[in-house]
Amino acid sequence: MLLYGAPFVFSGLGHFVLNFADRYFLNAFSNLTEVGIYALGYKFGLTLNMLASAPFLQMWDAQVFVVAKGPNPKATYARIFEYFAALILFAVLILSVFIKDILRAMASPEYFAAWRIVPIVAMGYVFNGWGQYFRLGMLLTGRTRPIGVIMMGTGAVTVVLYVILIRAFHGIGAALATFLSFGLMMVWTYAWSQRLYPVPFDHRRTATVLVIAGSCYAIAWIADRASGAFTAPGYMIRILAVAAYPVALVLVGFFADEGIHRLQDLPAGIRRFARGGDLVEP
């Protein structure tokens, strides 16, 4: 038990560096105003993680072992990841598209620039959530040592990125360092875990979700530039851009394996899934 749990101590140290060292370096290479703007933007990304990703992952670490006893567990792991990825990206899209409105209502004008930080940090926490999901191979095989190695290694790389990027780009540099560090952790965890317990993740489907989310955000961003952030046309286009995300997933057949081929099928499928059943009636 000690050997199984000890790596999580080192993992916690690595996460501490990723979550808190950025303010130290930002204060050293910038000023308190920049720190305040960055801290506000970072808080939104962290809150999104706490509301949309962390609750699922806390449940999932235990559920991994339950799924392992069922039929075709590897296919189940791959399938659940796809829906987890789609859900968390939808949350990031909503936050990123409407963050200016949120800041306008909640923060004073001098902190409005924090909107630039939010999408970058939020995507970093997407990678963090995916990385934690990918470590299921380590959990199932009982070989948790890589978890500590990966997080300590990522923490060391993060410090280097903070020094380079914060010195050059200040708050945006800190956000980029967070994004790149969580991305490194995700890829490293995936590669190591797949060697221990290969899972047939369909990367084309994940890439499709990323492209759709990115396209919807790009449309909202262009509308923001063309029509203004707080105009009626701008609001309308941004709302439509967010609404287009689930519509596009259905139209490209993302839910086809679950029997959802039309938009009319989606609400009933979601209700069944929320009750703990399948997305499609048996």
The phi, psi pair for 17, rounded to 5°, reads -60, -45
Query: Alpha-carbon dihedral of residues 264, 268, 273, 276, nearest 10 degrees?
Result: -170
CA dist 159 → 15, 16, 178, 199 (Å): 12, 12, 10, 32
Check residue 76 and give its pLDDT: 93
Burial class of residue 41, CB neighbours in 10 A (0-12, 13-18, 19+): buried
Check residue 192 and give its pLDDT: 96
Percentage of the chain beyond pLDDT 70 is 85
Check residue 187 and give its pLDDT: 98
Does a structural domain hold residue 140?
Answer: yes
Does a structural domain hold residue 241?
Answer: no
Average pLDDT value for residue range 23-39: 93
Does a structural domain hold residue 221?
Answer: no
**166, 173 contact by CB (below 8 A):** yes
State how far Cα 6 lies from the chain centre. 26
For 193-210, the pLDDT digits (tens) are 999 999 999 999 999 999
Q: Which domain holds residue 141?
A: 2-201
Rounded distance between C-alpha atoms, residue 48 and residue 110, angstroms: 23
Report the amino acid identity of residue 49: N
Closest CA to 161 of 189, 183, 181: 181
For 153-171, the pLDDT digits (tens) are 999 999 999 999 999 999 9
Angle ∠(207,211,213) on CA atoms, nearest 5: 115
For 228-259, the pLDDT digits (tens) are 778 888 899 999 999 999 999 999 988 876 65
Counted domains in the chain: 1
Rounded distance between C-alpha atoms, residue 209 and residue 203, angstroms: 10
Closest CA to 163 of 174, 179, 150: 174
Rounded distance between C-alpha atoms, residue 215 and residue 242, angstroms: 10
Burial class of residue 187, CB neighbours in 10 A (0-12, 13-18, 19+): middle
Least reliable range by pLDDT among 33-37, 217-221, 275-279 = 275-279
For 89-142, the pLDDT digits (tens) are 999 999 999 999 999 999 999 999 999 999 999 999 999 999 999 999 999 998
Question: Model confidence at 262, in pLDDT bands (50, 70, 90)?
Answer: low
Check residue 279 and give its pLDDT: 43
Average pLDDT value for residue range 150-155: 92
Rounded distance between C-alpha atoms, residue 66 and residue 154, angstroms: 30
Check residue 2 and give its pLDDT: 46
Average pLDDT value for residue range 26-34: 91
Does a structural domain hold residue 238?
Answer: no
What number of other Cβ atoms are within 10 A of residue 164's Cβ? 13
Does a structural domain hold residue 182?
Answer: yes
Check residue 195 and give its pLDDT: 96
Check residue 194 and give its pLDDT: 97
Does a structural domain hold residue 235?
Answer: no
Does a structural domain hold residue 178?
Answer: yes
For 50-69, the pLDDT digits (tens) are 999 999 999 998 899 999 99
Does a structural domain hold residue 149?
Answer: yes
For 68-90, the pLDDT digits (tens) are 998 899 999 999 999 999 999 99
